[in-house]
Structures are given as C-alpha cells and as structure tokens.
Chain A
C-alpha cells in the first residue's frame, strides 16, 4: 500500500515540476525547465497559502460579526429611564380611612387604588404647568408615558413609609418601554417618534428640561422574572430554571454515564451484545435533539405523568441527550489509560475493582470531567427538546424546586425573539449575552479543572 502511494507521490511531484510540458528534447535541460516553472509554482503556493489565511480570517470575521451584532443590540437593555414624579398620596384618592387603627390601615393600604393616585398626581403636575385642563384623549396619552408598573412602585413606597399619606412626595418611576426606546434612539427634542405623538414628545422634552428624567442601570433585568411589559421583563426566573435543570441533569447523567462507561470498558464481557450496545450509544450521540424532545413528551409526560414545564422533566430529557456523550468521552478517557498501568497493578496482587477505582479512574478523571462538562454545556444551550415538553408557557413566578413550573434561558430567548415590541429585541440580545457568558464560565471551569487534575 505505502509503496504505491510513494510511487505516485514521486510521479505527481515530478509531473508538476515538469508541468507536463512537451518541450523539444534537445533545447532545454531538466534544470532549466524546472527553473522556468519554479516561479509559477511559488506563486501558486502563495495564492494557496493566502487562501488558507483568508479562510481563517473569514472564520474570525464571522465570530466577530456575530458577537458585535448581538452586543450592539443588547446594549440598550442595560439601562433604563426613570422619571421623578410629584405624587400626592391623598387619602381620598387612595380610598383609605386615615382614622382607622394601624392594623386596619395597613390592610387597606394593600388594596388602595394607587392607579388613581398616579393618574391624579400626574394630571395635577401637567395641568398646573400648562394652565388648562387636559382633554380625555390627552389624559390617556399622558398616562401612557409611564410604565404600568408605576402604580406598584407607588404602593411599595407608601407601605414602606405610611407617614406619606396626605403628603406630597417625590417618587421615581419607570417610563413605558415605548418612551424608553424613544429616548434611547435620541430623536431631536420635541420630535414625534414612531409610537410617540407630538404632544407626548413635548411633554417629555418638558420633563427633561426640568431634570426629571434619569437613565439608570437596569438591575431589574437580573432581579425580575418574565413580564408582558418589556421594561419590566427580567431573566431571573429563566436563570433559576436553567440552574435547577442543569443540576438535575448533572446529578443524573454524571454517575450513570461514568458507571456505564466503567462497566462497559472494564467489566463487560466482549461479545456481540456489548458491540450492539456500543453502536447504539454511538448513534444516539448523533441523534438530533428534537427526537429526545419527542421522547420526553411521549414517555415522561404521558406515561409517567410528571408535571409539564418542570425542571425535573427538562433535566431528564437533557440527561438522555448528554448520557451518550458522557459515556463516549469517559470510555475514550478510560481506554487512553496505558495497559501497562493496569498490568502493573494486577501484578502486585490488586483485584480488578481496586485496579479500576484506585488507578484507572483517577488517571482517566481529567478526560471524564472534561467530557462531562462539554456535555453539560451542550445541554445548557438546548432549546428544541424543551419546547416539546411545555416549557413555553408564560411563567412569572421564580421556580424554587425542581417540580415547579419553569422555563430555561434558551427557551426564554426563543420566546422573547418572537415578541415584536422593539424593547424586547434589546432584552433578547442581552439574555443571549448572559447565556454566552454562562457557557464561557463553564468552559473555563472545564479547562481549569483539567489542568488541575493533570498536574496531580
């Protein structure tokens, strides 16, 4: 075999040198002919090399474009505009009875009409300035400037300090997402935007000259969970769901995978059945993730009746996905342990079990852990299988256990990507950045752990 290749190597090299040209036999010597072609061949060489370099640079460019695009889209999500309002907590607007007892008052404050307080305070602010009463349409437009959450901010402030009743207080509330986008896009002062009317733009200009508008870092992106309002939406719920699901996946797939690999590699008899099992596992590593979602739906939810949208089910589906990867990686790591090590231990009188656990496993541990972490990182970014098992509902509460309804970060990204509100675009990109950071952390951990084990 080798001989024929070497022969053809020689022949093909000769051919290119001579460039297969038929030259008059007498005129040039071989050396001359070679020299003529040399320049062309060197040029070809240069072109080829630059083509390769171009390919590598192209790859770089793709990565850079992707990250830059997402980062630029994500930046607006990290800060938000707030506005300072003069809020008048009049008790008749709130509908509370100031003369009642402390306890009764506290109860009343929970269900008081803060919306009315907000509305009236805002009307007051603007009608005193412009010196005329606002029309119904204008009132509506005015209230639209503020986030629907504003009344809850008012509620929190009052409950924290009930002495504010019947007093006028400065309260910072969020602006509506349309206004927020308008301000971020930097239209000229007083110009109407896409969803902002002329009148609203003028009010905003007025508020801004009065130094009432401020841009703050958007902490609620990390502390709030999903919401219908883009300015309130956050990833806390999704992050918790991801962590819980990953925890379940790790707990299930790591022991099962390593144990399976150990058994198959060290203890199982080498026959047809184990061959079949090996083929089966190898193939499963290549199965598209969506098939696992089908499985999760058919078996886990229908047959076993576990709750939909729970991290438990998500974790089980992801375990099924990562199990083949972990088994294959572990087997490769175990196989890589030199037989001399095993034989030396056996020669000293160790039993098979001792050889495996005291010598082979620790030696293979770096490879096993790396494989496990790579599998987990893959599972972290998976969306398709989780779509099938119902993690696509609108879930606001942050999950606290593995059987609460939850969603995970990739699914949250998918859901937000569908929302047409402009502000959700920024939020989606920001969530993607968080996801990528998480993946980076996991991969770095893997590298560090591997280095640490290898040093031992």
Chain B
C-alpha cells in the first residue's frame, strides 16, 4: 500500500495498541477491581503502548522514505546497458527522468502509446525499446519497495508492542517511561524551532561576509553611488558596480519619517480618545476597525498607493504648480503611515492604561480637566511605553517591502524632497534578486548585505525599545 494508506493503518494500529495496552495492564493486575494495585493508571499503560507502537515505526518509515529514492535509482542504473551507466551524472539524470515518466503512466498500453508520442531519441544512446524495458523494471522495483516498506513498518510496530507488553507487571513504571518519551519529543521539537531561528541569523551573516570580501564595508556603508547592475558577460558594458548604500538609507529614512508624521499623532490621539473618552459602544466599533487596518495585507496597501494615492498627489501637485514625481515618497509614506496607525494606537493604549488609576483620579480630584490630566499626568507617566511603541513602529516601517516596491521608485536618489521619487533598501533587495540567480556575483550578494543591514537596524531598534521601557517604566505596584 502506498504511504498515505500506510499512515492511516499505522495510526489505527497505534490507537488499537492504546486499547490493547490498557486491557493488558488490567489483565496483569488481575481484573478491573484490582486497578489500584498498579503503580499507574491503566490509561497511562495504554499511552505508553501507543507511543512505543507508533514512534519506532514512524522513524523507520521516515528513514525508509528518504533512502528509498537513492537505493532504487542505484538498482535501476545497474540494470541499464553499460554505456548508459558510464554516462555523466547529468546525462544519466536525463535518462532516469524519462524512464520515470514512462513508468508513471499507468498501463503497458499507454506505455507503448507514450513511446509513439515521444519524438526523437538521441541516436547512439538507449533505444526507446530499452527505455521501455527499464521503465518496466522500475515499476517492478517500485512495487517491491512498497511491499517491503509496508511489511517492515508493520512488523516493527507489532514486535515493539509485543516486546513491551511482555514487561508489564504490577510495579512497571509505565507513566514515568511515557513521560520521558514525551519530554524527549518536546526537546526535539523545540531544538528544531530554536535551531532554525539561529540558522536564519547565521546564513544571512554568511552570505554578507562573502559580499564584503568583494566590496569593502566602508564603500558600502558610506558610499553615495548606488549602481549595482554590473555587466552580465565579459563582452558587455554594464553599470559601474558601485555599491554605496547611503542613497538607499536616505530614501528609507525619508519615507519612514513621512509615515511616522502621519501615524504618531493620529495613533496617539486615537489611543487617548479610546482609553479616556470613548463610550463602550464607540470602542466596540473602533477596535475592530483598527484591527482591519492592521490586518490588510501590505500588497493591498501597495496597490492602493500606486493606483489611487500617487495619482491624486500628482494632480494636486500639478495644480499647485509643483513638480511631483509620479512615485513620490509622499504617496508611499502616507500609505505606510496608514498601515502603522494601529500599531501606534494599540501599543500606546496599553501604555496609557498601565498608568494606575490613582494618579488619574488624583489629578481629576484636584479639579483638572480630562485633557489637562492626559497631557500633564498620563502622558508623562506613560512616556516610556509610548516611546517604545514608536520605536517598534519605526522598525516596522523600515522593514516594509510591498508598499514601497509598488509605490516608490527605483532611482537611488539622495534627496530630502518628499515630492521626489526615492528608492529604499527593501526595493533594491527585490530588484537585485529577481533575475540574476547565481550566488557569487557581488550583485546578488549585495542583496544579502542589505538584508543584514535591515536585520541589524530593526534588531537595534527593538532592543532599544525594550531597554527604554524597562529602564524608565515606573513600578507602581
């Protein structure tokens, strides 16, 4: 039977062995009424049995599956004529691909048909007849493999259970054993989770170091010419290959700044209003509204920015007599600000609500108006939290990709004019990596170096936010 069916059978076997272990343990105890004589509950015996049935079999299945392809391929290749076997890996791979696709067609009939529709075989290599032969052999091998796999897995499952159950006795520590297994599983999965998170950092670092071997870090960090499109071939004339990233950083900063100009005041005011003034009814409508803003995918924002906001800004600019680029930083910045409003508002609201009521009431008790309370009491008290929120929002804006890819420009312009078009770090990463795919040209590696910059910056901002909140937060009670 094939793998999915095997899984289902294994699963049912596991469930059955749970019941079996349970019953067996009761048997050992001498009947249900002597349940209390066992060291652990019958259910725990059952659980142990189930795990012992399922896990070894599963591991066997996994190993078998990964090794399967290799072994079958080796066996198949050894049945091919000598001159084919001695071909290079690549040519052999091509044959095998063809043989596999022949074998994948269902019956011999369609196999024959398959040959007539396959056009030309390379002369002096394998004849079509030979390939058909090999395809049939492959089919047989596959069949054999499936039988072997099924048999092996089921036998291991059953044998493990039997061997375990023989040891059941009144003093058998079933529960402890099952807990050890579960703990091992937990350790294994969290190891995977942790290792992957480490791996992310390591691989970006690795590629960036390769980049810095060809382009000096000083040129990268402080150069002002960004012209990465180097020639593809020796006889082509391309860009000069300068990798100064300052225009990119400047562009990112400009757009982030515009975004924050929109998001911080609006977000903060929303937070204040919702926490201090709003009725429950308004709050129940406003909260979901903010969640909607936060949940809209950034590609939608990008679409909106490119097709609606940018033309509107252009038209307004033209009518005022200003020269506005069609991909102004303003358009991208405004839409990004919209996206960030929920961040600022919800984090600020948390910070404001964390200020103890005692202060607020003291102030009101003294006769201050609500606005005065907010401005002079709550905000200063909540300031660390708010600053933290703003820093987190900035790091989100810096790392944003889709809005700028669709709405911002591609020219690495060093300017402070929001009506000009600028490009950002994230846009360049995307541009550099769609097209050329080899991993040793400075062009592709530059993308990794930019990614590293991004990573370090956002990391720094996050740590800073954390520190600010921790250090300046007042411990109230």
Contact surface of A with B, Cβ cutoff 8 Å: 1-2, 5-6, 9-10, 12-14, 16-17, 34, 41-42, 44-45, 47-49, 51-56, 58-60, 62-63, 66, 69-70, 73, 255-257, 259-264, 267-268, 277, 280-284, 286-292, 294-295, 297-299, 302, 320, 323-324, 327, 351-354, 357, 377, 380-384, 387-388, 392, 410, 413-414, 417, 425, 428-429, 432, 435-436, 439, 443
Q: Which A residues are CB-close (under 8 A) to B269?
A: 51-52, 54-56
Q: Which residues of A contact B401 (CB under 8 A)?
A: 288-290, 383-384
**Given A66-B304, A260-B194, A6:B359 Cβ within 8 A:** yes
A236 to B435, CA, bound (A): 27
Task: Give Cα distance in the complex from A47 to B454, angstroms.
Answer: 41
Pair B406/A283 contact, Cβ less than 8 Å: no
CB neighbours of A289 from chain B (8 A):
399, 401
Q: Which residues of A contact B204 (CB under 8 A)?
A: 291, 294-295, 298
Contact (Cβ within 8 A) B369 A44: yes
Q: Within B448-464, which residues are at the interface with A (CB < 8 Å)?
A: 448, 451, 454-455, 458-459, 462-463
**A66-B304, A288-B399, A288-B458 known; A260 and B189 CB under 8 Å?**
yes
Determine which of A54, A62, A283 lies in contact with B462 in the assembled complex, contact meaning CB atoms within 8 Å. Answer: A283
Interface residues in B, total, Cβ within 8 A: 97
CB-CB < 8 A to A66: which residues of B? 296, 300, 304, 338
Q: Looking at the complex, which one of B194, B297, B359, B451 makes contact with A294 (CB distance below 8 Å)?
A: B451
Please, which residue of chain A has its CB at the minimum distance from the CB of B475? Answer: A1
CB distance from B419 to the nearest CB of A (A): 22
Indicate if the CB atoms of B451 and A260 lie closer than 8 Å.
Answer: no
Produce 1/0 per residue, B286-310, CB < 8 A to A: 1001111101111110111011100
- Quick check: B186 and A297 within 8 Å, CB to CB? no
The chain A residue with its CB closest to the CB of B447 is A294
Which segment, of B48-56, B123-131, B237-245, B374-382, faces chain A? B374-382
Identify 20 new A-B residue pairs, CB closer than 8 A, beyond the known A47-B371, A267-B186, A298-B203. Answer: A14-B366, A52-B269, A52-B276, A55-B273, A59-B286, A59-B293, A280-B197, A288-B400, A289-B399, A324-B197, A381-B295, A383-B402, A392-B434, A414-B302, A417-B306, A429-B303, A435-B300, A436-B300, A439-B296, A439-B297
Alpha-carbon separation in the docked complex, A327 to B381 (Å):
31
Contact A256 B448 (CB under 8 A): no
In the bound complex, do residue A410 and residue B299 qualify as a contact, i.e. CB atoms below 8 Å apart? yes
0 or 1 for each of B366-404: is its CB under 8 Å from A? (1 = yes): 111111101111000100000000001001101111100
Known A45-B371, A384-B430, A414-B299; contact A291-B366, beta-carbon cutoff 8 A: no
Q: List 28 A-B contacts (CB under 8 A).
A: A10-B362, A13-B376, A16-B368, A17-B367, A34-B367, A44-B369, A48-B374, A52-B272, A62-B341, A66-B296, A66-B304, A69-B308, A267-B183, A277-B197, A280-B197, A284-B197, A286-B395, A286-B399, A288-B398, A288-B426, A290-B401, A291-B204, A291-B454, A353-B183, A384-B402, A384-B426, A388-B433, A428-B303
From A285, which residue of chain B is reached at the shortest CB distance? B462
In the A-B complex, the 5 residue pairs with the smallest Cβ-Cβ separation, listed nearest first, are: A288-B399, A381-B297, A52-B273, A55-B269, A48-B371
Partner of A290, one of B175, B186, B381, B430: B430
